[in-house]
Amino acid sequence: MAGIYIHVPFCKKRCNYCDFYKTTNTTLIVDYLNALSKEISRKKNYFSFEKPLNTGIIENIETIYFGGGTPSLLSLHDIEIIFKQLFSTFQISDTAEITFEINPDDVTFDFINGLKSIGVNRLSMGLQSFNDAYLKLMNRRHDSQQAFSSIETSIKAGITNLSIDLIYGLPEMNMSIWEQTLKTALKLSVQHLSAYHLTYENGTVFYDWLTNGKLKEIPEDTSFHQFEMLHNMAEDTGFEHYEISNFAKADNYSKHNSNYWKGIPYLGLGPSAHSYNGISRQWNVADIFGYCNAMNKGENAWKKEILTENNKINEFIMIRLRTKAGIDLDEFKNIFGITSQKCLLHSIQSFLITGDASIIENKLSLTLKGWFISDKIISALMQTS
């Protein structure tokens, strides 16, 4: 099985924290759609692998994910055209999880019902907060009332597999504010929650405000306590904390994102999108003009990297330790050999002593403390030779 990600790089305005590739020039949507169609056609064989007797086997597509940017800026007609080409080009499962990211202020009954009719069966909503002051600070387009009504409208329109995004670690966010946010979120009729700590990325408004002293980061211990509160309150209300930033009710994991963490192949379409097939990694140019021009000229809008053995080992460590399941040490040894396993076990020792990692039934995983400092731990585990 495999997945397809479509990056829709358009936004009505830029959120102050976001560093994903996007443009507010929505007059380019027609050019983008034409280029996207060409890329789909050119990459129709991305999931084709040759067998010894030259008989091709095509990967079955189990997940499709529309992300951005703001996919909900596309019209239903445009989305339907993309769907038709995807389904005529790739072998897509009848039970595929098809996720569509949507802004709360774009939610209407007719739009959601139209998405459902086209084939969308899961929505991911960027609510981020229920506090109007924070929504304004982040330059979000919606207010708290729209956040609530978007959930209700989506359910009425027939899509009940809903995921919401939240951000914590915001400037001056104390424990009381975060607790109230969580109480509100956990009462909603949603099956999935993604919660991310604010990072000040270079090139964003928040980064500029931070460096100019207009914003101040909250203390690290407050950040950890907010992460801890998130974990405890979510688990107490029936959500499983199955990945650093992700929580699901009744096994409603994001299949698409879970496949990333399992190392399953995926194809990325659109400017800045990444692709991976276990052998190489490709990434499209993060520029709408460069992307469209290359597609129109029949040129490559992407770069490609063949993965070395160390690349594969390090990626395996990085993605598996993000998950609750962690690394099965027997599986790791079978794939990469006893020497690489010994190197991993040697590198993790100090984190086992501090309680940031654990090995139970021959499975290596990070504790809650470890998840909070996962970047530091994973960096220390990277193998270079």
pLDDT confidence of residue 55: 40
In whole angstroms, what is the distance from residue 122 CA to residue 3 CA? 15
Nearest residue to 134 (alpha-carbon basis) of 221, 246, 15:
15
In whole angstroms, what is the distance from residue 324 CA to residue 135 CA? 31
CB 102 within 8 A of CB 120: no
Q: How confident is the model at residue 59 (pLDDT cuts 50, 70, 90)?
A: low
The answer on pLDDT for 149 being more than 60 is yes
pLDDT confidence of residue 307: 95
pLDDT confidence of residue 320: 97
pLDDT digits (tens, 9 = 90+) for 63-101: 999 999 999 999 999 999 999 999 999 999 999 999 999
The answer on pLDDT for 379 being more than 80 is yes
Question: What whole-number percentage of the chain has pLDDT above 90?
Answer: 95
The answer on pLDDT for 48 being more than 80 is no
The answer on pLDDT for 9 being more than 90 is yes
pLDDT (mean) for 342-363: 97
For the stretch 313-344, what's the b/e string if a residue is b when 16 or more beta carbons lie within 10 angstroms of its beta carbon?
bbbbbbbbbbbeebbbbeebbeebeeebbebb
Quote the pTM value.
Answer: 0.94
* CA distances (Å), origin 3, targets 37, 93, 122, 254, 338: 17, 11, 15, 12, 31
Q: What is the largest CA-CA distance in the chain?
A: 64
pLDDT confidence of residue 1: 73
| Residue pointed to by tokens 């019902």 | 113
Per DSSP, helices labelled H in 187-328 are 205-211, 220-236, 255-262, 288-297, 309-320
| Residue pointed to by tokens 């459902």 | 116
Q: Kindly report the average pLDDT of the chain as a whole number.
A: 95
| Residue pointed to by tokens 């379409």 | 269
DSSP sequence for 330-347:
HHHHHHH-HHHHHHHHHH
Domains for the chain: give ranges and CATH numbers. Answer: 2-259 (3.80.30.20), 308-385 (1.10.10.920)
pLDDT (mean) for 51-57: 42
For the stretch 152-185, what's the b/e string if a residue is b when 16 or more beta carbons lie within 10 angstroms of its beta carbon?
ebbeebebebbbbbbbbbbbebeeebbeebbebb
Q: How confident is the model at residue 49 (pLDDT cuts 50, 70, 90)?
A: low
pLDDT (mean) for 100-125: 97
pLDDT confidence of residue 58: 53
pLDDT digits (tens, 9 = 90+) for 157-185: 999 999 999 999 999 999 999 999 999 99
pLDDT confidence of residue 50: 40
Least confident of 56-65, 87-96, 247-256, 328-337: 56-65
The answer on pLDDT for 52 being more than 90 is no
In whole angstroms, what is the distance from residue 293 CA to residue 309 CA? 35
pLDDT confidence of residue 53: 39
pLDDT confidence of residue 368: 98
pLDDT digits (tens, 9 = 90+) for 280-331: 999 999 999 999 999 999 999 999 999 999 999 999 999 999 999 999 999 9
* CA distances (Å), origin 291, targets 43, 122, 169: 14, 28, 35
